[in-house]
Amino acid sequence: MTDNTKKPKKVINKSKTKVPMREQAPMDRIMNFEEVPLGYTEDEAHQEALRCIDCKTKPCVAGCPVGIDIPAFLKLVGEKNFEGALRKIKEKNFLPAICGRVCPQEDQCEMVCTLNKPDKGREPGGIGRVERFLGDYAMEHNLTITPEIAPATGKTVAIIGSGPAGLTAASDLAQKGHKVTVFEALHKPGGVLFYGIPQFRMPKEILIREIDGMKDMGVEFVMNYPVGKAEPLDSIRQRFDAVFIGTGAGLPWFLGIPGENLNGVYSANEFLTRVNLMGGYKFPDGADTPVKKIKRIAVIGAGNTAMDSARTAKRLQPEVVYLVYRRSRLEMPARIEEIHHAEQEGIDFNLLHSPIEIIDDGKGAVGAIRCQEMELGEPDDSGRRRPIPIEGKIRDFAVDTVVISIGQGPNPLLSADCPELARDERRGTIVINDYAQTSFENVFAGGDIVTGGATVILAMGQGRVAADAMHRYLMTGDPAPADNESGDVCPNLT
């Protein structure tokens, strides 16, 4: 034992910037599907944790959709008590290795960090990086930190959809002593975490490990079971005491321009599913689902999914990957880090270009994508400057593949078979009250099926709020907290 641990005095790393994270070099990584950021070493994580000044206001905790006690876990890392830090995170978030990778920390905990003073050149604490380190540390050291499970309540819960919202709700409810069964339509659990997020952003092994941990907690997973088709919601809600719907935003949008059904036009969902879920990049020796050999490809859109698609395409070794977006850089919805990675990897950004037609190569496949060049006008309803066409400025990109990544709507599979479930007529999303309760008393919902399309961590936050409400409902019959206890309401995300 050193003096430091005996008499804890504040040791602060006064560096203005985060401890840098090592990455695979761009020219190396575009040749493989391995992860890009390599993660912190123990020393790096320790140094970064010491940057936290343990301020009184702790804005980061409020900035975290699942309310992790961030200063507390950073302090433990500062003491090199990695296992303790993991336990602290797992009180609120059972998926640190995933969240450390896919959360937009720059818009959440790190944005509100007291250290964050860009005008003074001071960066926020690298909360996401340390969180990720801990998740990886657990895996490398084979640490299974199973949270304490409350005595069995005898209540049963069905979770429909095994994406981020469903997994969070399942884990929370299992911890509270309920018997949880997760139903998934696909053959692998994880939803968007499996089919959407590419291997180079989050290795599938991490997800599989987290899910194995849930199985150890007694959560049962039923694959290949599309509720609504395999069994009506009505039957599920009679069989279980409470039900959570987290079926996500799985219905891809198309542009509605001529030529969209030509061969070689994919939704981002199809493209990413072929590569991520089905392993198309290993075709034909390592996997049976093909993805076409691409020479020149255009990805339409500028969200995180568009960046994932463009970077995935790049790893299939084409001559060129264009990214085509009708607005300017400022309006791009993707995380800065993702845009930065895409640029490093040589994605050819074409901003202020709006696709107007996909042109046939004469054989029923894509030959080119025709775009209208745009300029920025006055702000529109969303507050972003509206793109307006520049007359006569048309540009063709010669490509053989087009990936449409302009967003998606709520998955219709379940609601189509249950018209009585109250939905937002226009958006098709499931309507819930402050306690995540749908129009059926014992059915709750959260994630993209409610918001229409947001991020992994927001879906997880909603899964958590719903789980709390469901627990109260199961124990008292009322999902609202009693007057003398606190309870989160669903964050308004729309």
Residues 279 to 308 in contact with other proteins, rule: CB under 8 A: 279, 282-290, 292
Please report how close the Cβ of residue 269 comes to other proteins at its closest, in angstroms. Answer: 5
**Nearer to other proteins (CB atom), residue 226 or residue 303:** 226
**Nearer to other proteins (CB atom), residue 87 or residue 209:** 209
65 binds other proteins (CB under 8 A): no
The residue to which tokens 């308004």 are assigned? 492
Residues 385 to 444 in contact with other proteins, rule: CB under 8 A: 411-413, 416
Please identify, among the stretches 66-74, 147-155, 181-189, 351-359, the one whose residues bind other proteins according to the rule CB under 8 A: 181-189
49 binds other proteins (CB under 8 A): no
The residue to which tokens 């296992």 are assigned? 83
Site string for other proteins, 209-228 (x = CB under 8 A): -------------xxxxx--
Please report how close the Cβ of residue 361 comes to other proteins at its closest, in angstroms. Answer: 11
Please report how close the Cβ of residue 286 comes to other proteins at its closest, in angstroms. Answer: 6
Task: Annotate 248-264 with b (16+ C-beta within 10 A) or e (fewer).
Answer: bbbbbbebeeebbebeb
Please report how close the Cβ of residue 267 comes to other proteins at its closest, in angstroms. Answer: 4
Contact call for residues 307 and 403 (beta carbons, < 8 A): no
Residues 236 to 275 in contact with other proteins, rule: CB under 8 A: 250-252, 254, 260-261, 263-264, 266-267, 269-270, 273-274
SS (H, E, C) the chain: CCHHHHCCCCCCCCCCCCCCCCECCHHHHCCCCCCCECCCCHHHHHHHHCCCCCCCCCHHHHHCCCCCCHHHHHHHHHCCCHHHHHHHHHCCCCCHHHHHHHCCHHHCCCCCCCCCEHHHCECCCCHHHHHHHHHHHHHHCCCCCCCCCCCCCCCEEEEECCCHHHHHHHHHHHHCCCEEEEECCCCCCCCHHHHCCCCCCCCHHHHHHHHHHHHHCCCEEECCCCECCCECHHHHHHHCCEEEECCCCCEECCCCCCCCCCECEEEHHHHHHHHHHCCHHHCCCCCCCCCCCCCEEEEECCCHHHHHHHHHHHCCCCCEEEEECCCCHHHCCCCHHHHHHHHHCCCEEECCEEEEEEEECCCCEEEEEEEEEEEEEEECCCCCEEEEEEEEEEEEEECCEEEECCCEECCHHHHHCCCCCCECCCCCCECCCCCCECCCCCEEECCHHHHCCCCHHHHHHHHHHHHHHHHHHHHHCCCCCCCCCCCCCCCCCC
The residue to which tokens 């309006």 are assigned? 331
Please report how close the Cβ of residue 272 comes to other proteins at its closest, in angstroms. Answer: 9
**Nearer to other proteins (CB atom), residue 412 or residue 481:** 412
Size of the site for other proteins (CB under 8 A): 45
Please report how close the Cβ of residue 234 comes to other proteins at its closest, in angstroms. Answer: 12
**Nearer to other proteins (CB atom), residue 80 or residue 209:** 209
163 binds other proteins (CB under 8 A): no
Q: Which of 231, 241, 343, 361 binds other proteins (CB under 8 A)?
A: 231
Please report how close the Cβ of residue 250 comes to other proteins at its closest, in angstroms. Answer: 4
Q: Which of 278, 300, 347, 460 binds other proteins (CB under 8 A)?
A: 278
**Nearer to other proteins (CB atom), residue 104 or residue 191:** 191
Please report how close the Cβ of residue 65 comes to other proteins at its closest, in angstroms. Answer: 25
**Nearer to other proteins (CB atom), residue 185 or residue 214:** 185
**Nearer to other proteins (CB atom), residue 180 or residue 277:** 277
Residue 363 tokens read as 């054989």
- Pick from 173, 159, 162: nearest CA to 471: 173
Q: Which of 230, 336, 390, 422 binds other proteins (CB under 8 A)?
A: 230
Please report how close the Cβ of residue 364 comes to other proteins at its closest, in angstroms. Answer: 4
**Nearer to other proteins (CB atom), residue 73 or residue 195:** 195
Residues 361 to 390 in contact with other proteins, rule: CB under 8 A: 364-365
Alpha carbon separation from 461 to 201, 207, 447 (Å, rounded): 21, 18, 8
**Nearer to other proteins (CB atom), residue 217 or residue 257:** 257
Please report how close the Cβ of residue 170 comes to other proteins at its closest, in angstroms. Answer: 19
C-alpha–C-alpha distance, residues 404 and 423, integer Å? 27
**Nearer to other proteins (CB atom), residue 292 or residue 386:** 292
**Nearer to other proteins (CB atom), residue 54 or residue 288:** 288
- Pick from 266, 196, 203: nearest CA to 448: 196
187 binds other proteins (CB under 8 A): yes
**Nearer to other proteins (CB atom), residue 274 or residue 341:** 274
Please report how close the Cβ of residue 447 comes to other proteins at its closest, in angstroms. Answer: 15
Query: Which chain residues interact with other proteins by CB under 8 A?
Result: 185-187, 195, 222-226, 229-231, 250-252, 254, 260-261, 263-264, 266-267, 269-270, 273-274, 277-279, 282-290, 292, 364-365, 411-413, 416
